[in-house]
Structures are given as structure tokens and as C-alpha cells.
Structure 1
Amino acid sequence: MNSEHPQLTLDHHSDTEAKVNGPVTCLGLTFENDAVRRAHFTEELRSRLQDPEFRKIEGFPIGSDEDILNLSDPPYYTACPNPWIADFIDEWEAQKKNRPSTSLGERTLSEVEGYHREPFAADVSEGKNDPIYNAHSYHTKVPHKAIMRYILHYTEPGDIVFDGFCGTGMTGVAAQMCGDREVVMSLGYQVKPDGIILQEETDEDGKKVWRPFSKLGARRAVLNDLSPAATFIAYNYNTPVDVAAFEKEAKRILKEVEEECGWMYETLHTDGKTKGKINYTVWSEIFSCPNCASELSFLDEALDAQNKQVLESFSCPSCGTVLSKKSLEKVEQMVFDKKLNTTFTINKRKPSIIVYEIQGKKFEKVPDANDLNIVEKISSLDIPESLPLDRMMHASMDMEKWGDKWRAGSASFTHVYHIFLPRAAQALGSLWGKASAIDDYELRNALLYWLDQSIWGFSILNRYRLRAYSHVNQYLTGVYYVPSQTAEPTPWYNLEGKLKRLIKVFSHFSANKNLIAVNTNSISNIPMPNECIDYIFTDPPFGDNLAYSELNFIVEAFLKVFTEQKSEAVISKSQRKELLQYYNLMKDCFYGYYDALKPGRWITVEFSNTKASVWNSIQTALTEAGFIVANVSALDKKQGSFNAVTNTTSVKQDLVISAYKPNGGFEERFQKEAQTEEGVWDFVHTHLKYLPVTKQQGALLQFVPERDPRICSTRWWPIMSVRVTSFRSPARNSR
């Protein structure tokens, strides 16, 4: 990968080299090496954590001081509110003064008065097969290459981008990659030797021309999320990795786990002599026949192995009654929990299929007596100390339904460790324990980043799918669902492929953590100055679509730091949050965005929800915070294109809102002129400056719906009704 202007772009002389070779500088301080830097700022953070007022910040995560410190890499990343955000912004703003002037043909991008952008509304087609995008899974993600187009459109090199719902940190990746020539060119742009970026347009004569619109160079990024699991992933996505050390340690851990647990994953071939290495074992729930009450394995009786399909009807092996899955009842069994010193009920299961290899050749077999004896022996072992014992959502023991994702029968487990079969518990516990014991912070976190995305795949959430190419991470996303047939993979089958892919990604993406600052708490209380952000890209929570705190709980139990639910913007029965509470929480978040954004700058909101009420809540909250919507587009996921949408209740597709924060004293003038004719025309003149004059598709001029008087009025009336009755007070604008 190629970069231009090293002071503004990706630093391919990674931080890992600095750590080994000598001094590092951070926030104006020079340290002997990176370990000394981290030790210094860790002690400063430790001191802050001992301040009771610091822990009262809205959205402060749940966790002990030591667990928060163990996860953090201050000042770049903290698993709590980051006290150094303002310092990074001051440093980045100072660096802007030294950057070269940016002349784009006849247009000049001024850093203050001359800044002007029209809303981004071009067609975008970015798939989800990029190796970097797939380096770590999450509930929802926007491809970083799609975000790059927005950042390149709205910002200059060195500008500060903010994402308050950062998830896995794709906005940070996109900001850094704006400095990579090859990646920018892969978007279909041209890059001149001096770093000027050109895009293809159609001129007045219908001819294709290349026109300058941006400049090659990395942007800075402030990344925030309420979830410690999310910010952990985001930081590791955006920080350099010593690839050789990572590969060496990962392979060492796999080898040691094989030495300890390899006997658990051995099986005899059908010849009764040759040992095979298991890839995965398929477990089936046990049901009872409604006619004779005998127990039967659904998979043993209903699977047509030759044709790879499950039969709709089959006969009971005991009485011959024709059965279907709907006519069966699950068999439960009582299990004694040595950790809790009590019994609990689970659905009864048995291993039905073993898929194994001998010298690279794959075989299948029905478990024999030796296999069942090994399973029984493993069941008698103690649960590894590194396996979390947390009660789901930390609910009280007398509360059966621990959250919105609890489901009777299919998601009624009570504790984190209950979702792991005994063999998987031993293997995962060993893997996590060995990675956690590594002293080197960056190496330890890179290994945990590799392991944490396999946690669900080791559990009984991992489905057995007859025609699946692989049985790695075959769980349903967005829910907790325990299927009737689960695939229990071995550590090697689960992790070796992911290790190879991560090594490739780490080798090709030279991240620079000096370009990011990661924060963990609520957007409404991020410790940053007012009007310091140049551009915001955000993908907020979608009402009741996803319960992030519940879905992240299992991973956070391994990380030992948890989401503080009170600040979570979600519609949730278990949290007693309805549409009004969601609206108020989102409004507070947009207030935080508004305060942080510089006047005249843009916010892009990517949003997906099938309910018009949630969509309208987002638009109203955005407007009440002070933003003016300039464009709403629909994202066609099949074709990946944005098409203008003028219906305010259109929510069938992902929507992209382009809004701006007014400048030029508009707020003050509006307060005086809101109900006058002069006030109306002031809004119209100001608003039209932010809208495109023309749109073209091929050689044809397109109608600009945002300039239609009816659309302008839909922007004007909500603003007037909101601001005349509840104009933002100065107190709200200062933090």
C-alpha cells in the first residue's frame, strides 16, 4: 500500500517498531519506549478511577478498576471515559496549521470561512467481502470503503472525524485509509502524484471528465461506544500489530492447548485402530415420543444422511408411530452445578455425528462407546477458572427472564458458562487463560481480539447446517438461539482459518494509533471541547432491532467490563424503555453531536429500521438538537445504490441522512426572526447554500428534489415548531 505525505497519512513505520527500537512521543511527552508510555498513562488513569466523581459520568461501564485498566491502553484507548480526548484534539488542531495548502484546481478548501460542501448523494456500491471488513464480526457494520467516500467528500487530510456509535471502529479504519493511495484508487477515483483525488463526472456536453474533489491523506478519528466490547474491537482494528509475534504466540497457544486437550478430540476410525482428529461433533437434542414416551434423538431418526436433508416425518424406533418435530416434546434433565452448588435444568443432548480427518481426508461416523466414554470423562472435570460465571445480565437469581433476548426453551440459559458443552468449556477456558496471561499488552489484546469472535462459535448457539461448507461461527446473528442440533468445533477447526486471515489483514493494514482516540461512555457526556469536530459519520441503534448490551454481554463477561444499560438508546421491555425514552436518549446523543461539531459542518446518519415511528423519532431528535436535514437517501442493499427518497415515512431500506450544523450566526438570527417573513427567507437562503444546484445521471440532468418548495417546507416547519417552543439554551451548549 502506498501513502502520501507521511505526516498526514498512514505511518507504515509502525508503533511496534518504535516500541522495540527506542523512544516514543505521545501528547508532547517522550518516553523510553511504548511500554513506559503505557505505564505512565495507566497510573494517571488509575488515579482518575479512584475519583468518585469520575465514575459518575453518564455511561460509565461496569467493572473494577483493575479490569478497566487491564483492558485499556491510555491515552489512546480507555475502557471508560477517556480523559485525554481534549488533549488529542488540541494536538491534532495544532498539526493542521503545519499542513500544506490544498488547492483543487479552481477550488480552494479553506480551513474556516471558505469551507463548503453539498450533501453527498452519489451512487455507492461496496460489498462486505473485503478482508479488513471481515477481520472481526459484529451485529451491524458499515463497510469502511463506503464510509471513506463520505470522509473524502466532506473533509481534508488531518481533519477530525467523530463516530459516537462506533461499533467495530470502521469509521476509524476509513479515516486512516483515506491516506492509502491504492485503497482510494480501488474506489474508482484517480490520485495525482501530488495527492489530489479526482472523481469522474459528466460535463454540460455529456462528456466524461475527471474533476478534483479531495486530497489524499489520513484523517484523525474520535471513536466512542457505550459497549466495552465494541470499543475493544474498535481499538484493535485501528492499532498496529507485531505480526510475527502475534503469529508465533497464537500458534504456541494452539499447540499447548492441543497438548492439554488433544485427547478430548481424538476418535477411532471405523477400522478400530487408526486415530482420527475431530473437526466437529454434532449434538442433537433428545425428544420423547407422544405415543410411547420413549426417548429418541431427533437427528438420529430424522436425518437422511445420503440426501443431506431432514425428513418432515419419520417413525418412532420404539413403537413405529409416524412423527414430526412439532409432535415431539423436548426431554429435560437435572444437572448439578458445582460452581453454584445447586441443580439446574437443561435440554438433554447426545452426540450424533463426528466429523474427523485422517491425513487430510474427511470422514463421518456415529459416536462409538469410546467416544461416549471420553465425553463422560470430560463432564467430570472442573470448569476452568478463566470461564466467566456471570449470571446473564447480572439478573437476580429469582428472575427467570433476564432480558429481551431470553426465550423459553431456545434461549433460557441462566449463566454465561452454561452455553458451553463440557469439552468446549475446557478448550475455550484454556485458550482464553493462556492469551490473558501474556504480559505484553498489545500482543495480549491482539490474541484476545482473535479469540473473542470465536466465543459464540464454541457455544451451543453454533448451528449444525447440513449443506454448510464450514461449521465455524454458524450461529444466528442478532439473537440468542439454541438450536436442536449444534455443531461443537475443535479449537483448530474453529481458529486456524481465522488466524491465517488475520495475519494477512495485519500484514496489509499498517494502522497508526496516533490517529485515533477511543472512548467508552455515552455520547451525551464525552469529555471533548465544543465545536472541535470537522465531520460526523454515525450508525446509531435502531430502536428495538438489536439489544446491543444483551448481545455483547457474553463477550463482555470474558473481558470483565460491561455496558451500563441506563444510557443505552434502545426500545426495551426489560429496561422499561418505550419509544419516548428511546427518542429522549437519541435526542441527548444528537445534542452531544451538535455541541461537538463545528458550525457549517456535516453529519451523516446511516439508519435501518422497519418502523416509521422509530424513523420519525430519529429525524425529530436530529432536528430538535439543531441540525438541518439537507438530504435523505435510501440504500438499496441489493444494488448498493442511493436513491433519493422524499417520503418521510419510507423505512423499507437503509436510510442515509445528510444534515448540517448552521453557521454564520443563523441560530441567533433565527431566535429573533423565527416568526417573521424575513426569518423564512433567511432560512431559505441559508439552506439553499447547502443543497446541490444540479444533479446528473449520465448525460441527463436530474431533478433536485431537495430544492422543491414542498421539500424545503418540510425542513422549515419542523425547525420552526421545535425551536420556537424549545430553543437550545446556552447551558445546553456548554459542557
Structure 2
Amino acid sequence: MSRVVTEPYRREIIGAKGSIFYRAHSYHTKVPPEGIVPVIEHYTNPGDTVLDPFCGSGMTGVASLLTGRKGVLSDLSPAAVHIASGYTAPNDPAALADAARALLADLADLEQELYGTKCGRCTGDARIEYTVWSDTVVCPGCSHEVLFWDAARQPDGTISKNLVCPLCSSSFRKGDTEIRPGAPVLVSVGCLSCRSREQRPLTPVEMKIAHQAHRSEITDWYPTAPLESWREMWRGQHGKMGIATAADFFTDRNLRALAAVWKQANTSPERLGLRFATTAIVNRASRRYQWNPKRPTNVLSGTLYIASMTYEFNVFSLLRRKLSAVIQLAKKVGETQGQCSVTRSSATDLNHLPDQSIDYVFTDPPFGANIYYSDASFLWEAWLDDFTDTTNEAIVSTSLTAQHGGKTLNDYEKLMAASFGEIARVLKPGAWASVMFHSSDDAVWSSLERAIESADLTLESAVAFDKSQPSFKGVKQMTNQERVSSFDLVLHLHSTAGGVAKRRQAITASVAEQDVLEAIASHLQTATPRQRSTPYLHSFVMRLLLERGASFAGYSYGQVEVLLSKNFLFEKGAWSRAQTSNSPASIKIEGTA
């Protein structure tokens, strides 16, 4: 029997990103499943059915497994369906381990051919763990070809935007030059005998293998899907660097290795687990990993950017580590009591689900124009040879034509309204839906509220979700490079007759700017430093407006930042109350810290 819940979940949610359930496979956005667990337990009983129609990487399904519920997941993206299935489908850990050993054994000779070398210390057998590649640029001053590695690196190892030609000393910018095929400049070698690790310039033999035209020797299938210039993530730099297809995101050597691994994975009895492990290394095995003098930096999510100096990681070393993680994941999934199914479908059409069949919904839909998911999934979907139909992709993309998935804010709102209508249809009477959302744009928030209002759902509360670690865009915000919100809100919606429209008619209170200032002032009295950051306070203001049914107009991220700067003190990344007699009076809204 379904649990009767009359009060929404009101505690702020914290989710860490360190568990195997989170890190086995990357995705553009991901909600730590441990943060979803207490919310599921608040709204449902063991055995109840939990839906996520924008499932992404499948973390709602993982939380359902952990709590003994039945997860029902769906997504428009074939990459999302593949990844969510890999996270939630049961696998025999022993059989998967045997298949992993067999795959690596079958391809051991190929690894030796592509990455084998000798240790510089003991002369024993060793393998190249990674090679650093540098673009070649043409100096505008003397027309000589110059390695970016030589022109941009400073004495302290950092990279300068102003390049200096080592031949004629001309100073120039990368964007003003012609880019030609790059060259390897550094290798990291791990010895199989003395176990030492060394980083050094390449030997002549290593240089020859790196430059070898391996693509002509590839007999296995590899993706040749074009990177069309109409894509949101296409940049002129791709053309300059010769990036015309998915295959061009990889060095010839890594493309040859991945093609061989993909063939083995697809013909194995443990196909699901091996394919999951392989796509989990695709981005790291590509040219998208930017070289850093201190440590490898992650692929920039939400872009298809390729830097001028990149890592070429040993595909088999990546795979060994990832297979170990996927086997560990299989063991953990096997210990859970829940179930999960994953279906490919648009959230606007859940026709595979009967009316009033779902006990609870937890979902994390696209946030307007934040991420272009189909482009961000390009490399995964190229290897899967299956691409997102962008017709119903719920994004805002005004630079694209309708033919290629372009949509206005109004189009986005219609798709979200249709999705919320389907959520309301499949929810049991009196059941709840939790929707995770954030946006820096007040117009997107207004669009979301209207979409909810069109369904038979009542907004009862909103709480902050702290993922503990900021996204790449969140990091940029904290360094004042970009103004974005990095704290999500979880909106708790109740399936009741009348919906938000009825609730809003009953609301008579308005929220004036002074009300907002007083709420912030009250919050700052007891807030932690993290809860006094600009991203948190923007989410705090959005929550206040949501719960009072007020307009979002005038409260974009940038406008909230201006409001804070005029009324509060900012020091060491946190806001505090100004110590004056004119400080806003103290009030406190329900459920805040």
C-alpha cells in the first residue's frame, strides 16, 4: 500500500560524489544517489515504484536499488539509456571479471605494439602511460612552424596566451595563426620490472610509433559520424584542427586501440558490462584532455573543446582501471534489494506507463540552455552508432534551425509542460514528484513555473541540494569568470486536484525587494560559509519566490549579485550582514538553516 505523505521533505540535501555508484561512468550532470535516498524514503515504502523520465546517468535508479524500490527510468538520449543501464542492470561480477581478463589477454600483443617501450632506468620492459601532444602553429612573423609547447610555456611551466616564437621572438596569439598537425613532446613511462615511473622526452622509437599512420591499419569498425558545423558545440577551431568526424577526436594510435576493444566488447557474453566500461574511457582516451603542468585536468563538460596541448592516454591502462571499477559496481548492485528498468522515450510521451501507476517521481530535467546534451554526448553516441532525436530535446537553442533542434524559450516551456503533464498522469492520487532545477536566468524560472502550473501538480516546498563539489561552471563562477548558479533546488510537487493554478489564486502576499533583503539578512545570521556564497544565496532567493508564488522577474543571477553588493558585505567568498543601523530587519522563512 502506498504511503500517505502530507508534508513535503524540507531538509536541505547533501550528496557526495565519491562512491562507485557515482564515479564508474561520467555524465554531463549527475545527482549523487546518496542524496536522493532520504527523499525517496520520505515519500515511499520499500517495493514502491519510482520514476525518472529524464534519467540521464541513472542515479535515481541507483537510489531505487539502494532503498529496495522499483526504479522506472527513461530518457530521449541513447547515451543516457546506455549509461543508466550500465549503472543499474545486474551483472555477474565473476563472469564480468573473467570476460575482462580475456579481453585484455586477447589484446595484449596490440598493447605492446602500440604502447610498449623500455625503461630508461633498468632497461626492462615498460609501457607508455601517456604521451603529451602539442599543436604546431605557424609564426606570423617569420612563417616558421613552431610547437605550441615551445612558444607558450613559461619558465614556471604555466601556459601564456601570448605566444613567443623561439626563432624570431615575435609575439602573437593562437587565434591569429595557422594550425598544422601536432607532435608528441613528452611521455610518461611505467616500468613493468622495477616499477618506476618516469616522465621524459620521447626516444626515436617512441616518436616513430606515435607518428605512425595507424588509421590505415585499422580493420575493426570505428565511428565516422560527421561533426556538423551547425551543432551548438562546433567551433571554427575544429575546422582549423582538422576535426571533421568523431574519429578525428582521437589520435590514430588510440583510435586503433579503441576499435579493437569495442569489437571485443561487442562480441563478449558480458557485452553490457564491457561496453559500459569502454564508453566510460572514451572521453579520456580522446584528444579532449588538456595538458596541465601539475596534473591532468578533466574534460571540460558541456563542450567539445580540444586544447593545444593534450594527453594521449594508454587506452589499455585506462581500461584496466575502469574494468576494475565496473566489476566493483557489479558487486555493489548485486547486494541491493531493488529493481530497475530503463526505456528509451521522450518525457513528453510516457505511453509505456499506465495512468496512476507511479508512487513517486524524482527527476533532474534540462535547465534551459545550460547544456546541449545531444552535442555533449556526441562521442558516446558515435561509438554506440545511435544519436539523439533532437525534435523533443528540452533545451533552449535559438542559434539552431528547427530542422536541427533549435528551440525558443517558448518551445522549451511547451516541452516541459507536456513532460509535467505526463508526470501528473502517471502519478497515483496524492503522490509526490521532486524536480531538481537551477538556472541563472529569471525567464527560465518563470517558464518552468508556468509549465508546472499547466499540470495537475501543486508546488509545496523547495529545498537546496548541495552536491558538495561544484561543477566546472560553478568553479568558474567562484573565480568570477562566469555568473552561474551552482546550487540546485529540489521542488516538491504534490499530485492534487486544482494544481498550482488553484494555489496561486489563494496567494495574496507579494514579495517586495525589502522582503527578499530581510530574508537574506535573517539567513546570514546562522548560515555556514558555503551557505553565504553567491550561488547559494541566488538559489535561496529562487526558493523564497517559489514558495510565495511571486514573480522571478528581476532576480537573475547577475541581478541578485548586484542586490547583495548594495546591501551586504563580501569577504573571502562569503556575504555577511553590514554592521550598520540600516541593516535589513531579521526574518526567517520556514526550513532554512
- Give 2:276's aligned amino acid: Y
Q: Cα 1:324–1:248, aligned 2, differ >3 Å: closer, same or farther? A: farther
The answer to whether the 8 Å contact 2:139/2:146 transfers is: yes
Q: 1: CA distance between counterparts of 2:545 and 2:307?
A: 51
Structure 1 equivalent of residue 271 of structure 2: 444
Per-residue CA deviation, residues 555-598 of structure 1 (Å, 9 max, x unaligned), is 12222222111011111222221111111111111111111111
- Give 2:549's aligned amino acid: T
- 1:479 shift after superposition: 0.8
Give the alignment of 1:351-370 within 5 angstroms: 351-358=184-191, 359-370=194-205
Name the SS for the 2:244 alignment partner. coil
Structure 2 equivalent of residue 277 of structure 1: 127
Give the alignment of 1:249-264 within 5 angstroms: 249-264=99-114
Q: 2: CA distance between counterparts of 1:595 and 1:171?
A: 20
- Give 1:370's aligned amino acid: V
2:557 paired with 1:557:
no
Name the SS for the 1:478 alignment partner. coil
The answer to whether the 8 Å contact 2:250/2:285 transfers is: yes
Q: 2: CA distance between counterparts of 1:620 and 1:533?
A: 23
Structure 2 equivalent of residue 626 of structure 1: 456
The answer to whether the 8 Å contact 2:51/2:362 transfers is: yes
Q: Cα 1:238–1:314, aligned 2, differ >3 Å: closer, same or farther? A: closer
- 1:604 shift after superposition: 0.6
Q: Cα 1:710–1:656, aligned 2, differ >3 Å: closer, same or farther? A: closer
2:235 paired with 1:407:
yes
- 1:134 shift after superposition: 1.0
Name the SS for the 2:14 alignment partner. coil
Query: What residue ranges of structure 2 are gaps of 5+ in the alignment?
Result: 471-483, 509-522, 527-539, 552-593
Structure 1 equivalent of residue 70 of structure 2: 220
Structure 2 equivalent of residue 337 of structure 1: none
- Which residue, out of 144, 148, 151, partners 2:37? 148
2:286 paired with 1:459:
yes
Q: Cα 1:267–1:475, aligned 2, differ >3 Å: closer, same or farther? A: same
Q: Cα 1:411–1:658, aligned 2, differ >3 Å: closer, same or farther? A: farther
Name the SS for the 1:488 alignment partner. strand
The answer to whether the 8 Å contact 1:239/1:512 transfers is: no
- 1:327 shift after superposition: 7.8
The answer to whether the 8 Å contact 1:238/1:512 transfers is: no
Q: Which moved more, 1:132-141 or 1:376-385?
A: 376-385
Q: Cα 1:510–1:501, aligned 2, differ >3 Å: closer, same or farther? A: same
How many pairs were matched up? 498
Q: 1: CA distance between counterparts of 2:287 and 2:87?
A: 28
Q: Cα 1:555–1:636, aligned 2, differ >3 Å: closer, same or farther? A: closer
Structure 1 equivalent of residue 182 of structure 2: 349
Q: 1: CA distance between counterparts of 2:435 and 2:283?
A: 30
The answer to whether the 8 Å contact 2:12/2:463 transfers is: no
Give the alignment of 1:35-114 within 5 angstroms: 111=2
- 1:624 shift after superposition: 1.1
Q: Cα 1:532–1:262, aligned 2, differ >3 Å: closer, same or farther? A: same
Per-residue CA deviation, residues 184-217 of structure 1 (Å, 9 max, x unaligned), is xxxxxxxxxxxxxxxxxxxxxxxxxxxxxxxxxx
Per-residue CA deviation, residues 643-673 of structure 1 (Å, 9 max, x unaligned), is xxxxxxx96731221111115xx57xx99xx
Q: 2: CA distance between counterparts of 1:168 and 1:327?
A: 36
Name the SS for the 1:310 alignment partner. coil
- Give 1:368's aligned amino acid: T
Structure 1 equivalent of residue 349 of structure 2: 525
Q: 1: CA distance between counterparts of 2:45 and 2:363?
A: 18
- 1:710 shift after superposition: 10
Structure 1 equivalent of residue 495 of structure 2: 661
- Give 2:344's aligned amino acid: T
Per-residue CA deviation, residues 154-188 of structure 1 (Å, 9 max, x unaligned), is 1111111110001111111111211xxxxxxxxxx
- 1:364 shift after superposition: 2.2
- 1:514 shift after superposition: 7.4
2:82 paired with 1:232:
yes
Structure 2 equivalent of residue 490 of structure 1: 314
- 1:369 shift after superposition: 2.7
- 1:280 shift after superposition: 0.6
Give the alignment of 1:172-571 within 5 angstroms: 172-178=61-67, 218-268=68-118, 275-303=125-153, 307-310=156-159, 315-319=164-168, 321-323=169-171, 325-326=173-174, 329-332=177-180, 348-358=181-191, 359-379=194-214, 381-392=216-227, 395=228, 401-410=229-238, 413-438=243-268, 440=269, 443-468=270-295, 471=296, 474-510=298-334, 515-526=339-350, 527-571=352-396
Name the SS for the 2:146 alignment partner. strand
- 1:229 shift after superposition: 1.1
- Give 2:202's aligned amino acid: P
Q: 2: CA distance between counterparts of 1:576 and 1:508?
A: 41
- Which residue, out of 403, 426, 431, partners 1:596? 426
Name the SS for the 2:47 alignment partner. coil
Q: 2: CA distance between counterparts of 1:379 and 1:451?
A: 20
Q: 2: CA distance between counterparts of 1:172 and 1:599?
A: 22
For normalisation by structure 1, the TM-score amounts to: 0.63
Name the SS for the 1:601 alignment partner. strand
Q: Percent identity?
A: 29
Q: Which moved more, 1:376-385 or 1:567-576?
A: 376-385
- Give 1:524's aligned amino acid: T
2:465 paired with 1:635:
yes
Q: Which moved more, 1:125-134 or 1:322-331?
A: 322-331
Name the SS for the 1:245 alignment partner. helix
Q: Cα 1:655–1:249, aligned 2, differ >3 Å: closer, same or farther? A: same
2:13 paired with 1:124:
yes
Name the SS for the 2:130 alignment partner. strand
- 1:268 shift after superposition: 4.6
- The structure number with the bigger radius of gyration is 1
The answer to whether the 8 Å contact 2:222/2:259 transfers is: yes
Per-residue CA deviation, residues 10-68 of structure 1 (Å, 9 max, x unaligned), is xxxxxxxxxxxxxxxxxxxxxxxxxxxxxxxxxxxxxxxxxxxxxxxxxxxxxxxxxxx
- Give 1:714's aligned amino acid: G
Structure 2 equivalent of residue 171 of structure 1: 60
- 1:286 shift after superposition: 0.4
Name the SS for the 2:461 alignment partner. strand
Q: Cα 1:411–1:133, aligned 2, differ >3 Å: closer, same or farther? A: farther
- 1:680 shift after superposition: 6.5
Q: Which moved more, 1:125-134 or 1:514-523?
A: 514-523
For normalisation by structure 2, the TM-score amounts to: 0.77
Structure 1 equivalent of residue 560 of structure 2: none
The answer to whether the 8 Å contact 1:629/1:715 transfers is: no
Q: Cα 1:221–1:628, aligned 2, differ >3 Å: closer, same or farther? A: same
Q: 2: CA distance between counterparts of 1:226 and 1:404?
A: 18
- Give 1:445's aligned amino acid: L
The answer to whether the 8 Å contact 2:462/2:491 transfers is: yes
Moved over 4 A (4+): 268-275, 311-315, 324-328, 511-514, 636-640, 709-713
Q: 2: CA distance between counterparts of 1:141 and 1:502?
A: 18
Q: Which moved more, 1:271-280 or 1:593-602?
A: 271-280
Structure 2 equivalent of residue 71 of structure 1: none
The answer to whether the 8 Å contact 2:137/2:146 transfers is: yes
Q: 2: CA distance between counterparts of 1:353 and 1:712?
A: 56
Q: 2: CA distance between counterparts of 1:327 and 1:479?
A: 18
CA-atom RMSD in angstroms: 3.3
Q: 2: CA distance between counterparts of 1:257 and 1:712?
A: 58
Name the SS for the 1:635 alignment partner. strand
Q: Cα 1:411–1:653, aligned 2, differ >3 Å: closer, same or farther? A: farther
Give the alignment of 1:703-714 within 5 angstroms: 714=549
Structure 2 equivalent of residue 201 of structure 1: none
Query: What residue ranges of structure 1 are gaps of 5+ in the alignment?
Result: 1-95, 97-110, 179-217, 333-347, 396-400, 641-649, 685-696, 717-735
Name the SS for the 2:133 alignment partner. strand
Q: Cα 1:145–1:405, aligned 2, differ >3 Å: closer, same or farther? A: same
Per-residue CA deviation, residues 112-166 of structure 1 (Å, 9 max, x unaligned), is 8xx2331111132221112221121110011111111110001111111110001
- 1:637 shift after superposition: 4.9
Q: 1: CA distance between counterparts of 2:545 and 2:167?
A: 72
- 1:270 shift after superposition: 5.1
Q: 2: CA distance between counterparts of 1:463 and 1:249?
A: 32
2:445 paired with 1:615:
yes
Q: Cα 1:591–1:431, aligned 2, differ >3 Å: closer, same or farther? A: same
Name the SS for the 1:633 alignment partner. strand
Q: Cα 1:327–1:260, aligned 2, differ >3 Å: closer, same or farther? A: closer
